[in-house]
Chain A
């Protein structure tokens, strides 16, 4: 139940950059307009980071990982229910590991 000094530093820096993005857009629009190109690019950042995380992790896991991610994609697109999707995705990896190894 302690706070590690480097963790504190990381959290403080994360907090600063995050607040700057929250306040920054508001502040900037009082002075400039964002170009549509910049807006389009920014809108792709979260998705691109998710892809960058998912693909190597799935390759490392092998076929069981690919099956679990496919199930995850199908369930979230069909139901839009995060809890159900997590249960399906994690359940699939559990079962697929037993079957495929």
Chain B
């Protein structure tokens, strides 16, 4: 990779963006699928179309948004919504940290706006390509851009068409959230070392669910899993996103 040395000032090309978008198209199919489901769930929950669009443009974090929908009832439990969002998105700290040695070649005024659209799937594809020698930061942008391009119209379509389904409970859709979360949970299983933190999260959540009002058990479960992972320490570090359904 000696040749790439000449790009130390930060190679950032339109061609890189195009290649990043192209590399992410297969992933875009599953992103769009989840986008449709999210749009439907958001509508079923009672988000208006403009609210849903605002949330997706400015928050743009599917997992956290889905979890928050679960407790989206007026009066909105704002503290719990914001804390839950923070807790689920703390993992994005890792993504930004891992990409830092690459992105820092670009001026801060370009990097910080770009970080807003950094999403798990796009990040994973870009970082895999970098491990194989990709240096163009445009590629990083293209991967994340492709995910957003796949997500937005799918989500909007899901919201607009979701009303045609009728009563959600009659076709089992009231249980859809739980199914989505279970799919994300088991889909993210990395190996046996996951079991201890998962068990800690489960036990803590159950205790919180029995003893506390509202949805605080979600935060307690999340913190217990974090604590167990922290206490056990190293073995899992860095394997987290590399093997996550990425081509």
User: How many residues of B sit at the interface, in one of the four size bands?
Assistant: 35 or more
Name the contact of B197 in the complex, choosing from A22, A24, A47, A55 (C-beta under 8 A).
A47
Partner-binding segment picked from B7-15, B17-25, B124-132, B198-206: B198-206
Do most interface residues of chain A lie in helix, strand or loop, or is the interface mixed? helix
In the complex, are the beta carbons of A94 and B194 less than 8 A apart?
no
Number of interface residues of A (CB under 8 A): 71
Against B, the Cβ 8 Å flags (1 = close, 0 = not) of A1-35 are 11110111111111101110111111111100010
Known interface pairs A6-B74, A86-B183; A47-B92 also in contact (CB < 8 Å) = no
In the complex, are the beta carbons of B100 and A26 less than 8 A apart?
yes
In the complex, are the beta carbons of A10 and B175 less than 8 A apart?
no
Name the contact of A49 in the complex, choosing from B67, B74, B82, B206 (C-beta under 8 A).
B67
List the count of A-B residue pairs having beta carbons below 8 Å apart.
300
Known interface pairs A2-B48, A21-B90, A80-B245; A28-B97 also in contact (CB < 8 Å) = yes
Do most interface residues of chain B lie in helix, strand or loop, or is the interface mixed? helix
Given contacts A29-B101, A50-B184, A73-B186, 18 further A-B contacts (CB under 8 A): A3-B51, A4-B74, A12-B58, A21-B92, A42-B93, A44-B201, A45-B91, A49-B87, A49-B225, A53-B70, A54-B182, A56-B205, A61-B178, A76-B182, A77-B186, A77-B187, A83-B33, A93-B175
